[in-house]
Amino acid sequence: MELIRSSWETHPEYFSDFRVLPALAAGLGDSYGDIAQLNALILQKQPAALPLLKQGFDPAGKKEMARRVEVISALEGPAATPWLREILPLSKKEVRPAVILALGCDQENAGLLLDLAKAERSGNRDAALQALARLEGDAVQDFWAAEIAKKPENAEHLKDSGTKWASDIAAAAFQTILKRFLGMERQNTPLSESDWSALIRCRAAVLGKSSPAMLDCWRWVDSQLSAFSKLKRGPNVKHVDLGIQLPFWLLNSLCHSGPGPLCAFCMELWQQDEDSPRYLPHALISALLTWPADEVYNRFSPYILTKKPLLDATRKKALHDALLEAFREISWDEDQQRYQLATGQALPNGLDARWYDQLTQTSNTEEILRRLICRKDPQSCAKISVYLFRLIQDGNAPVIQEDITFLRQCGWTDWKGFLNKRVKQKGDLTVYSVVRLLNETSLTNLEKAAELRMLDKIVQEQNAATKRPKWPVLAVQNQLASWEAEQNSSDPPTNPV
């Protein structure tokens, strides 16, 4: 699979060769599904493959034929309709839902898909619903209104639709299920596994949608959070406090939506009570999506605690933790050369560099900083390097090989004794793991040997005091000999006296 992928990335022109196309088409039936899917993605960029894909097509075939339908639909779009309508009556098994879904590429198929949604069952009907979610028209909207009135969780098929009507219907479905939950709470009835499954399915349609009806739905949710926290669960349902969970779902929806109405709405929720941590993450993400980077920093950086507060410590710690929750959604994308959210939404104005000072002066932010590293910014790399090395040297945080690699790439040279405290305090590093970490540094082989000798001495002293197991003597000696031999072989020859 890696050979195919790397060849496609470096030499895409090879795949249009008529000696290669038949192999790609045959690969749609590969027993390793990921290879078959990769072949399908490549074929979707090869219009010359159309005759080959239609030749020998079996509408009653298996997954390979279903993938042919997907590729043909992707290549032809609405132009595939005549062929799809021709093979539909003959299609069976895995091919039929693929054909039905492909019909959603053409608005002219709306009537046919409405009929199929009434006649088909199970997975074939789900395919018709997904296809209808891609179409427009009063008849389609009326169908969806009736559908979610009967089964609101089927709104999940609207998850990829960005239309206002889809957002309105998703909001209605979401609120219908949540109102049913409130009725169960009043009757002291516990949530069942199917109840929870219905809500999760409907949630997929809500993410990123921001029509006025959806904003009203979230406004209603906010007003009912205390009631949602009282919901009981059945024996097969994991405990979840919806009063806490629903604001996180709103944050996730905001991250999917990007700049737009949800930003203003989340800011409005936060401004109702700026001393509450509930909507502080939403406010920071909203600001990062819509404000200049320096304004975001000036407004929100005071929430980060760089030293222990003397007054009102509990509330300030809660606000601090809430802001860090928002930062866990942010990362630097090396390929795109931009800051973005976990959903792939870009931060239009980036991130103020002063955040690095804040985040390196507080605790438990190493995971956040690792995601924020912009390797082309020497100043931020220098700040993060000092922070990460201090963590390693203190011995309390896990020693991560990637951190040491990053430090070496940033030009770090002061490695002496950097594993001492970890070995003393935890005693969980083996000879193998220590050697692996030392090999990631910029130390010479002789310097690595000196570090290993020091660490072995610490382990021996620990054994005498705490009965911790010693490192195998032979393993240490063999590694020392290996490093010293490598060093000697790399030394330049000396001139005879």
Residue 480 lies in a domain: yes
More confident residue, 57 or 363: 57
One domain for residues 415 and 468: yes
Considering just the CA atoms, what is the radius of gyration of the chain in Å?
A: 30
Closest CA to 476 of 461, 455, 445, 462: 455
427 shares a domain with 400: yes
Residue of 190 and 249 predicted with greater confidence: 249
Examine residue 242 and state whether it is found in any structural domain, yes or no: no
Domain of 42, CATH number, reads 1.25.10.10
Helix axes 33-43, 63-76, angle to 10 degrees: 20
d(CA 67, CA 102): 11
Q: Residue 339 pLDDT > 60, yes or no?
A: yes
User: How many Å apart are CA 68 and CA 57, to the nearest integer?
Assistant: 8
Question: Average pLDDT of 298-312?
Answer: 90
Look at the block and give the residue holding tokens 């054994």: 463
346-360 pLDDT per residue, tens: 999 999 999 999 999
Residues 460 and 355 in one domain: no
Examine the pLDDT at 470 and tell me if it is beyond 90.
no
Task: Identify the helix (H) or strand (E) that includes residue 482.
Answer: helix 473-490
Comparison of pLDDT for 147 and 363, the residue scoring more: 147
Residue 434 lies in a domain: yes
Give the domain range for residue 127: 1-135
> Does residue 71 form part of some domain?
yes
Q: Is residue 198 part of a domain?
A: no
Both structure tokens of 273: 């009570």
Segment holding 331, helix H or strand E: strand 330-333
Assigned domain for 475 exists: yes
Tell me which of 135, 153, 180 is where a domain ends: 135
Helix (H, G, I), strand (E, B) or coil at 339: strand
CB 29 within 8 A of CB 36: yes
Q: What is the pLDDT of residue 15?
A: 94
Residue 410 maps to a domain: yes
Number of domains in the chain: 3
Are 359 and 400 part of one and the same domain?
A: no
Whether the pLDDT of residue 54 is over 80: the answer is yes
Q: Are residues 356 and 410 in the same domain?
A: no
Same domain, 315 and 400: no
Residue closest to 297 by CA, chosen among 357, 343, 250, 338: 357
Question: Final residue of a domain: which of 372, 405, 427?
Answer: 372
In a domain, 152, yes or no: no
CA 456 – CA 444 distance, rounded (Å): 18
What's the confidence (pLDDT) of residue 395?
83
Chain segment 208-262, per-residue pLDDT in tens? 999 999 999 999 999 999 999 999 888 877 777 899 999 999 999 999 999 999 9
**Residues 448, 466 share a domain:** yes
Q: Decide if pLDDT at 496 tops 60.
A: no
Q: DSSP 3-state assignment of 338?
A: strand
- Residue 269 DSSP code: H
What are the two backbone dihedrals, phi and then psi, of residue 147, each rounded to the nearest 5 degrees?
-65, -45
Q: Do 363 and 392 fall within a single domain?
A: no
Q: Are 341 and 393 found together in one domain? A: no
Tokens of 340: 């973005």
The reported pLDDT for the residue numbered 492 is 57
**How many C-alpha atoms does 275 have within 13 Å on its Cβ side?**
4
Separation in Å, CA 262 to CA 106, 163, 205, 324:
31, 15, 15, 21
Last residue of a domain, one of 315, 347, 372: 372
Q: What is the mean pLDDT of the chain?
A: 93
Name the residue with higher pLDDT: 428 or 448.
Answer: 448
At 205, the pLDDT band (50, 70, 90 cuts) reads very high
Q: Which pLDDT score, from 0 to 100, does residue 495 have?
A: 46
Provide mean pLDDT across the span 195-208.
Answer: 95
Residue-wise pLDDT tens digits, 63-103: 999 999 999 999 999 999 999 999 999 999 999 999 999 99
Segment holding 82, helix H or strand E: helix 81-87
Whether residue 64 sits in one domain with residue 43: yes
Q: Where are the alpha helices (DSSP H) in 94-241?
A: 95-102, 110-119, 122-132, 138-150, 164-186, 193-206, 212-223, 225-228
**What is the pTM assigned to this prediction?**
0.86
Interval 421-441: pLDDT, tens: 998 888 888 999 999 999 999
Question: Quick one: pLDDT band at residue 123, thresholds 50, 70, 90?
Answer: very high
DSSP reduced 3-state for 333: strand
Q: Quick one: 34 and 128 in the same domain?
A: yes
pLDDT at 463: 78
Rounded CA gap, 79 and 426, in Å?
66
Task: Please give the Cα distance from 10 to 335 (Å, whole number).
Answer: 16
Task: Kindly state whether residues 333 and 396 are assigned to the same domain.
Answer: no
Instruction: State what percent of residues in the chain have pLDDT above 90.
Output: 82
